[in-house]
Amino acid sequence: MSLSPSTDSRSRRAARHARAALSRASRRAVVAAAVALGATFLMGSNAAAAPAVGQQAPDFVAVDTSGAKHKLSDFAGKFVVLEWTNPGCPFVRKHYGSGNMPATQKAATDKGVVWLAINSTERAATDYLKPDALDAWMKSQKGAPTAVLMDEDGLIGQVYGARTTPHIFIIDPKGTLVYAGGIDSIASARSDDIKTATNYVNQALGEAFGGKPISAATTRPYGCSIKYKT
Amino acid sequence: MIFSRIHFATLLIATAAASMPAAAQSTASLPSKPGAVVTTPHVRAELIAHAPDGVTPGAPVWVGLQITHQPEWHTYWKNAGDSGLPTEMTWTLPAGVSTGEIAWPVPKKIPVGSLANYGYENTVLLPVPLEVSTLYKPPVALGGTPAMDIQLKASWLVCRKECIPEEGTFTLPLPLQGSTALHKAEFDAAAAAQPQPLAKPGAVEVDGHNLKVRLEGLPAAVQGKTLGFFPETPEVIRTAAVSGKDWTQSWQGGTWTATMPLADQRSASPTVMPLVVALPEADRQAGQPVAWRAEAPVTGSWPAGAAPRAEVSPALQAALTANAANAATSPTELPAPSSTTFMAALLGALLGGLLLNLMPCVFPILAIKVLGFARQAGNASAHRKAGLAYTGGVILSFLALGGGMLALRAAGAGLGWGFQLQSPGVVAALAALFTLIGLNLVGVFEFGRAAPSSVCSAQAKHPLANDFLSGVLAVVIASPCSAPFMGASMGFAIGLPAAQALLLFVALGFGLALPYLLAGFVPAVAHLLPKPGPWMHTLRRLLAFPMFATVAWLVWVLGQQSGIDGAGTLLALLVCLAAIVWAFTLRGRTRVVIATVLIGFTAVLTATIGRNVLQVVEPAKLASAQGTAGQRWQPWSAERVAELSGAGQPVFIDFTAAWCVTCQYNKKSTLADTQVLADFDAKKVAMLRADWTRRDPAITAALTALGRSGVPVYVLQAPGKPPVVLTEILGKDEVRAALAAL
């Protein structure tokens, strides 16, 4: 007895879907395990505290919106900017809609800086975007990060002590955290304030590239609370 | 969309308010009317007033924004906590009228997952006192009761899990005469929720990564209660810290003390901290104060929020300073890091390479090259080619080393100059190589006889290969000698983009090769060299001894790593190697028999005790084996340094390694000098030794923090002062001057 052709193709398709799902799940599990391992390592060394400026930036592995894996330590020798983002947040929209964030990203990446946008919004949040949707949004905003990383489990965000969107961290070529704080100096949701605010990221990178110490190395981040998985 | 809706509503309300005749107002009360209310999907905000005695100079006049939140939504206190923004108010008032500060009622702590905010839920009134001066000229009312028009533009961030920034424009005509007291209850409630000022300012002490708060003069009724703590200064404490778990509080009579953790990424370091403590809501009683406020002076020193960038060597620091001055005139669009700094680093690397020639570990190579030139005296073209080939060998080797360093850096390994000598296997292999070179120089064997004829002919056809390989060899041997300038250059290279880092290595190599290159191209230099003659054989035999001395040193290095068993085994294997090499110089049957026996014996020896060479002895075991190394030097650890610094004791750290010749020289000369040691004792300096002979991530990290990637490094650190990094070749006067400056 043989299966009818239609049943056969359906079962084959089902099997293929199952395999694809399994491979996605296993890839995710591997990455999550790697990230968790990194997080555990860090916590062991520093009693669950987020790194202070001047300390070693914890290493992590994350998958970007196109499924490629990125490891922070692979970027050793370069400045790395971590930008916590969430398109659902009005403060993120302020800086993307006005073109401020894309311009800041472009100025940095033009200098050879690696810019990683990270989304730590949990899957259950109303404004969670799937990788392809987030990628499409970033493209629609003319965003220019090196990669957009998914951190739905919030491990990277929690390890860094990221609190708001946006929240910016800068890591120097030696892997030291040299800046933690806001995108600029005027905490508001008004786009008009951007032109009078000091862009802390441009300032910090400019000083670092000029061989000067970073004058504002920790500032207050402002924006929406990151919706971490609880 | 939300914005436009608000604006539309505001516009509608404003229009309605303007068209409302003032005569309709009651003198006894001020009803809520359009113009004073903005409603959004998340809040209802209303501008209300309380002027029981009318609006006249000196009379109490309060206005305020009352926000009624939808369930689960909240707005923020003056310190919003981990996220959020305080509500902002901008007033437009007639001349002669001004406002005071917002009298923020005590907030509540709103945890959001791993974060926490301070804010308000349900209904809150943010009152603001109005000050009416005698300069205020009341408007002339054309009809009805004269009123003062007040306008407020307010913006607030309202959040549940998501956050919505909202704003509204409010207008309120405030009757000048009579009493505006409709909202008395709300203003009274807001006043009751005001923190009461404490008679004493209290005290805040920064203790490491904790904040110790001490408040006195709290009323007897609250003593023993668990209080809520609200610092008005944001970004100081870890807001999400949970009372009883992450922070503690206790009572001693009427004194309340608490210890709470500082924020990991603290961005404020106030000298005075305004604080609010509040009773838990369950313990609050109507008519009784619920919260207290103090402005506590801060003692102790804030831990460095921004650790100083790597302590670079004076030469590099000077370059950086010069660059900073240049940066003022040139745009910031510079490659990483700026070209001026990079040129300084290149120059430093070149000088470092030159000086490397004078280091004891490179000297045997210098000897070999001198011999080479002497052999080819008179042949200018050959000298030129030899110089170029040697330079090529040196530079390519440096590039390979640099590439290796970059590859390992990419792999996340922390390492530095001389790292290859941290592996016992490499040390043993080098010892074997030098033994062979020594035996060759002494004349036990000739390469021509020991090597297959194809290799011999290759060497004959390509004499340049010899020069190239001697260049390679020079680099291998030079590695343990971290010359001045080089430490800083290498530390600099580790943080550079790959291309620039490699360029630094090229500069180092060029510096090392430069003297030979000059000798090849400037005939005068080559002519200074002695003519070939019988003395060459004598010189060759003589040069064997530096080689054997190097072997002796390498065996000692291995002894540091693998202990006496490892060193002994290595010596035994080197004897075997020498015997095998000799056996190959014999002829006929004897050669086959003796060589076979010796190789067999060596194989057995290697199989039985060979692993002794590669074993790494635990530092503790080694320390006990070394016995009384003296009470003066303590083993280094970052914790020990912190401990000593905390106790106010200056610390001198010797970053050293057994395979570092400069280190050993300094140790035996300056650091053994009785005068210098007396100075150390006089200043009560704790002396710590960080031994990098074996790979140690903690020491590597400490060196990286100092902007160095090799040893020796000498650091003198006094509490409260930046650490002083001394030069690699440690002078007595320099150390004594540094000590005198403590």
Mind listing the pLDDT tens digit for each residue in B81-127?
A: 988 889 999 999 998 899 989 999 999 999 887 789 999 999 999 99
Give the C-alpha separation, A152 to A160, whole Å: 15
Give the C-alpha separation, B298 to B272, whole Å: 5
Q: With bands split at pLDDT 50, 70 and 90, how would you rate the model's confidence at B160?
A: confident
What single-letter amino acid sits at B581? V
What single-letter amino acid sits at A186? I
Q: Does A59 touch chain B (CB under 8 A)?
A: yes
Q: With bands split at pLDDT 50, 70 and 90, how would you rate the model's confidence at B706?
A: confident
Q: What percent of chain A has pLDDT over 90?
A: 49
- Angle, helices B697-705/B486-494, rounded to nearest 10 degrees: 100
Give the DSSP H or E segment for B52: none
The pLDDT score that the predictor gives to residue B628 is 42
Give the C-alpha separation, B346 to B354, whole Å: 12
The pLDDT score that the predictor gives to residue A171 is 94
Q: Does residue B328 carry a pLDDT above 70?
A: no
What is this model's ipTM?
0.75
Contact check, Cβ <8 Å, A180/B495: no
Question: Min CA distance, A189 vs chain B (Å)?
Answer: 6
* Exposure class string for B297-312: b at 16+ Cβ within 10 A, else e: ebeeeebebbbebbbb
DSSP state of A192: G
* Exposure class string for B570-607: b at 16+ Cβ within 10 A, else e: bbbbbebbbbbbebbeeeeeeeeebbeebeeebeeeee
Question: Which residue, among B101, B38, B108, has the nearest Cα to B66 in the 3D structure?
Answer: B38
Q: Does residue A82 carry a pLDDT above 90?
A: yes
Contact check, Cβ <8 Å, B338/A211: yes
| CA–centroid distance for B196 within its chain | 43
At B643, list the tokens: 């401990």
Question: Which residue, among B365, B502, B481, has the nearest Cα to B417 in the 3D structure?
Answer: B481
Strands lying side by side in the sheet with B686-691? B633-635, B686-691, B651-656, B713-717, B724-726
Pairing of strands B248-252, B255-261: antiparallel
Give the residue on A whose Cα is nearest the Cα of B414.
A174
Cα separations (Å) of B355 from A4, A24, B473, B512?
Answer: 84, 57, 17, 8
Question: Which residue, among B148, B150, B128, B130, has the nearest Cα to B138 in the 3D structure?
Answer: B148
Of A174, A181, A218, which is closest to B704 when you measure between CB atoms? Answer: A174
B682 contacts: CB under 8 Å, gap ≥ 6? B739
Q: Does residue B691 carry a pLDDT above 90?
A: no
At B427, list the tokens: 């040390």
Q: Does residue B532 carry a pLDDT above 80?
A: no
Angle among Cα A51, A179, B312 to the nearest 5 degrees reads 90
Mind listing the pLDDT tens digit for each residue in B23-45?
A: 333 333 334 444 889 999 899 99
Mind listing the pLDDT tens digit for each residue in A192-223?
A: 999 999 999 999 999 888 888 888 889 999 99
Residue B48 · residue B35 · CB < 8 Å: no
B214: helix, strand or coil: strand
Mind listing the pLDDT tens digit for each residue in A20-36?
A: 554 554 444 444 444 44
Of B82, B161, B327, which is closest to A212 when you measure between CB atoms? Answer: B327
Mind listing the pLDDT tens digit for each residue in B58-75?
A: 888 999 999 999 998 999
What single-letter amino acid sits at B514? L
Residue A219 · residue A182 · CB < 8 Å: yes
From its phi and psi, is residue B159 left (phi > 0), alpha (psi between -120 and 50) or beta? beta
At B494, list the tokens: 């580790």
Give the C-alpha separation, B307 to B300, whole Å: 17
B476 or B222: which leads in pLDDT? B222
Task: Find which of A73, A163, A230 to mutate to test the B interface (most B CBs within 10 Å of its CB).
Answer: A163
The pLDDT score that the predictor gives to residue B351 is 79
Residue B512 · residue B474 · CB < 8 Å: yes
Q: Which residues are B51's β-sheet partners?
A: B180
Task: Find which of A224, A226, A229 to mutate to test the B interface (most B CBs within 10 Å of its CB).
Answer: A224
Q: Counting every residue, how long is chain B?
A: 742
Contact check, Cβ <8 Å, B114/A220: no
Give the C-alpha separation, A114 to A110, whole Å: 9
Give the C-alpha separation, B229 to B232, whole Å: 10
The pLDDT score that the predictor gives to residue B412 is 46
The pLDDT score that the predictor gives to residue B431 is 83
Q: Which of B442-451, B506-515, B618-627 has the lowest mean pLDDT?
A: B618-627
Q: With bands split at pLDDT 50, 70 and 90, how would you rate the model's confidence at B618?
A: low
Stretch B556-560: mean pLDDT, rounded? 83
Q: Which residues are B170's β-sheet partners?
A: B152
Give the residue on B whose Cα is nearest the Cα of A48.
B264
Mind listing the pLDDT tens digit for each residue in B438-492?
A: 787 787 876 543 333 443 344 445 667 777 777 777 676 665 444 334 444 555 5
Stretch A41-46: mean pLDDT, rounded? 36
Cα separations (Å) of B527 from B372, B376, B538?
Answer: 13, 11, 21
Quickly list DSSP for B388-407. HHHHHHHHHHHHHHHHHHHH
Give the residue on B whose Cα is nearest the Cα of A47.
B264
Q: Does residue B663 carry a pLDDT above 70?
A: yes
- Based on the number of CB atoms within 10 Å of its own CB, is B44 exposed (0-12), middle (13-18) or buried (19 or more)? middle
